[in-house]
Structure 1
């Protein structure tokens, strides 16, 4: 059985400290999936002009945020890197090398919840916000053979991501219609495996500009979808909202 690819919504960095349906789901991820030999993490928080891979043998835990509780900055995820696999991914994709890049919170938060033992090698592949979703589907497709080797491609971003529309301090607030409509469109489109619609979501999805004023948090989904191979379909693993309009939906593709 091939390893599925996944897209997870990682939320705010404090997700790892605060109980929520999305945290509970991510903490079950290691049990829901076959155990991977390694993880290729595609995080919204590493963006480059051209694809790049991280080659660090012992990736640092990057605390790429400000003004959060001290407990968050004390967390460390001590998983090993996978420089040889990263080199191979670079050859497959034409990616540049970054010898020192660690794990940003888009990578280490879901990894720490899903695989808390930190014993699975992990490294990052960057996204290119100046490129369109079709570029990222094609980027992911170059990784599709990794599924047969029990290597997990994990996109990490957000199913909706409009920071101005968040309800601060309102974790249980109901999402506005625009957010729910986009979220419903996404699950339907993913389940159909409609590549054309995913690639052209700005024109085809309802409320796309409200759901994603910028692309970077959505592009990891396109990479994960592409990495599942031609004709892939997806299924929702989890759906919830937090802070009003922030969708925490996560998907598996295969």
Structure 2
């Protein structure tokens, strides 16, 4: 079996699912992927320590947003549970010294199901969500390295965040395709360049290396899933992965840039 790629995608707020460009980009991307046997997704919207896996039984989605029209709360995504994957995650992270908790009431949050609805609309692939136990780049990278072994078993590992995420820039009364703030554009260009060049040390040291770092990410939770993806693509054998920018552009000033790592 060929190892699955690793993804980092910018998932957006629920209204991004109404953006025809973004939904088309995600659908086109997934059509080019080898079909995974299961999906392990790390979302910016679940921080929990120690690291925790989501329910391995059918449970409702987590609508972790407020004040939106009702139709965003009517979305469903009844993907099969993945108890075997939960066991595998527990095993490989345990080998790296991490204790794994289970939350059998925790469904997929919008950082997980919103993009999956567009990429795998049949909802016929088992999905498990994994919490971020820290926002420390090195810690998340190391966790991703331990998870890399699961790629050989047909597991698609996805980090779901946002390449820039400053909600002060978000104004739905403006044109969603308007030119982004300079800080967002500068950070996006830097991210594209260092990822293309394989300068992953700079990505992990982004607070000191990236332009407009704290403006692009007043808090780092939406950038942090990339560290897990980098570790999962790098693995424990030291082979540097290749990267491909699959989606770019901006939505209300926020960078949608996403990558595939192989």
Alignment-derived partner of residue 119 in structure 2: 114
2:201 corresponds to which of 196, 202, 226: 196
Distance in 2 (alpha carbons) for counterparts of 1:60 and 1:32 = 29
Deviations 1:199-222 (A, max 9, x none): 110000111001111111111111
Alignment-derived partner of residue 241 in structure 1: 250
Most deviating of 153-162 and 173-182: 173-182
Distance in 1 (alpha carbons) for counterparts of 2:84 and 2:166 = 37
Deviations 1:196-251 (A, max 9, x none): 111110000111001111111111111111101231232100101011x2111110
Alignment-derived partner of residue 180 in structure 2: 175
Q: TM-score, normalised by structure 1?
A: 0.94
Aligned length: 251
Over aligned residue pairs, what C-alpha RMSD do you find? Answer: 1.4
Q: Please list, as runs of the form range in 1=range in 2, the aligned pairs for 1:97-112 lying within 5 A after superposition.
A: 97-112=102-117
Equivalent residues of 2:247, 2:258 under 8 A apart: yes
1:27 shift after superposition = 2.4
Distance in 2 (alpha carbons) for counterparts of 1:47 and 1:194 = 26
Instruction: State whether structure 2 residue 144 is matched by structure 1 residue 135.
Output: no
1:195 shift after superposition = 2.2
Deviations 1:61-80 (A, max 9, x none): 11111111111111110111
Runs (4+) of structure 1 exceeding 2 A deviation are: 27-30, 165-170
Equivalent residues of 2:29, 2:246 under 8 A apart: no
Alignment-derived partner of residue 225 in structure 1: 230
Alignment-derived partner of residue 166 in structure 1: 170
Instruction: State whether structure 2 residue 37 is matched by structure 1 residue 33.
Output: no
1:22 shift after superposition = 1.8
Distance in 2 (alpha carbons) for counterparts of 1:40 and 1:34 = 15
Distance in 2 (alpha carbons) for counterparts of 1:97 and 1:90 = 9
Deviations 1:93-134 (A, max 9, x none): 2222212210000000111110000000001011134x4111
Alignment-derived partner of residue 149 in structure 2: 145
Equivalent residues of 2:246, 2:259 under 8 A apart: yes
Equivalent residues of 1:59, 1:81 under 8 A apart: no
1:176 shift after superposition = 1.8
Instruction: State whether structure 2 residue 88 is matched by structure 1 residue 88.
Output: yes
Most deviating of 198-207 and 225-234: 225-234
Alignment-derived partner of residue 14 in structure 2: 13
1:84 shift after superposition = 1.7
Equivalent residues of 1:3, 1:148 under 8 A apart: yes
Distance in 2 (alpha carbons) for counterparts of 1:134 and 1:21 = 34
Alignment-derived partner of residue 60 in structure 1: 60
Distance in 2 (alpha carbons) for counterparts of 1:227 and 1:153 = 7
Equivalent residues of 1:59, 1:79 under 8 A apart: no
Q: Gaps (5+ residues) in structure 2?
A: none
